[in-house]
Structure 1
């Protein structure tokens, strides 16, 4: 359908008409969604080339096509090239539209996302803080759009090992989401999980255990005992137990529960299943129970060999 519309507009209006360019961008967007990245790149390149000739390099429509092309390059794994192109689009949009325009802020978000992928977290942090400042002014701190960026900043802070600030940030998100969505909503539970992760990264395993137990209880109610979300929560409690006061018995019970549920829901050959086997092996190894540890490790090796092949790294 998009190809047909483009063909009609191309004939009737010409390749440089704004409506034709809009159809080019829409076709490329669909190709991107369908993961036909090579073809999407070619179509966006056509859009950029035409827009630069007819509208000029700093026109908002040209910059839009450049920004979209950059994300296709990112999806193709050309991250460094995508970064340069996003910077180019961002610079142009800041001049043409201003720093607080929604398109400029979207561009800033895309740049922050790509920078995090490249490990340039300090700059990503600055960008997220700037976006949050604008969003907070326009929408308020409790708005879902603002919270999404606060969430992204929290993840960057974790990467930068700024765990204390990250914990406060995620606790703030939990507080808002509990009021707006409810304490057992999936988004609230994800934020609670991140609080636990920050606590664990700070070495506060006892407090992390409390958070993860709360998460486990809510996940059982929301998703059911065998759901993948509940299994992950049980596993998180087990990890917290493993690292504090050598509470191996409690940890083993939860790992076994995770293993049973993962075998039921994901199958014997799933990565999460044999990861749990490895954790059970490590648990017994830590206690000097080497025979039991070997048995779990061997089960994991056998399943990995069956699933991925014996020569897999």
Structure 2
């Protein structure tokens, strides 16, 4: 799969997720064989006004390339300026968020709300493409605002006309958020409507899901979001299955625990212990979901205040379920 001048080693892509796809998580996904990683969405205004937290979200590690940095906003001029900032930060790809469903985003006319204003969406994409220079621009959007306004095909066509190098389609409406089943038919319809690469997103949790999406929709790449939470191994499993048909086994308990603790150390190093520990609580719950006594573990994670607390919790857990882990 190729996006502009960026050649991916495989079509398995990490979806942008707020509060999840920060630098440490992207590095782990890349190590597991992910072909392209996307950042959390970054506010255009936060970049322009030099918000310290927002600017830190642009941090890139050479080991994670190629990397796409995603921006969001609702004004062409400010999105263009944000694109210039992101390009200078070294992004390989700049992505425009037109799919976020959260109320605090859409009430400002951003994210999925832009699907209700195609003319504005076009102007934003066109100005970002111009501002980005040689950096390819992609656009991520949904099936539509609701079932009465399904317009993903129209948005894809205008994105292509505005100069986007590729698009990603989440097969749910904004009204659905993340509930129900993703509609892969709309991904196929978008693929048939445009000549630029199309990535499909929604309900990829196994290697077989990934293969089926590629087969049923004809899309060029598959984007994995929630299926990767606490499960960076999915990229290795999907890439291997698509390349060879081999189904790799799930990670053993020891591997899951070691990855959890490594992720913890990376977060603490990147964000400091106070923030890193609090953000790790959710990740730890995902890593241990489905394990024996996972509900009790989750309660303990939520009370952890330090790196040592996490280590103690996991040591005690190992002793209780498998003394060899």
Common fold: TM-score over 0.5: no
Higher helix residue share = 1
Larger Rg belongs to: 1
User: Comparing both chains, which one has the higher relative contact order based on Cα–Cα distances under 8 Å and sequence gaps of 6 or more?
Assistant: 2
TM range (shorter): 0.3 to 0.5
TM-score, scaled relative to structure 1: 0.33
Which protein has the bigger strand share? 2
When the two structures are superposed, what TM-score results if normalisation uses the length of structure 2? 0.33
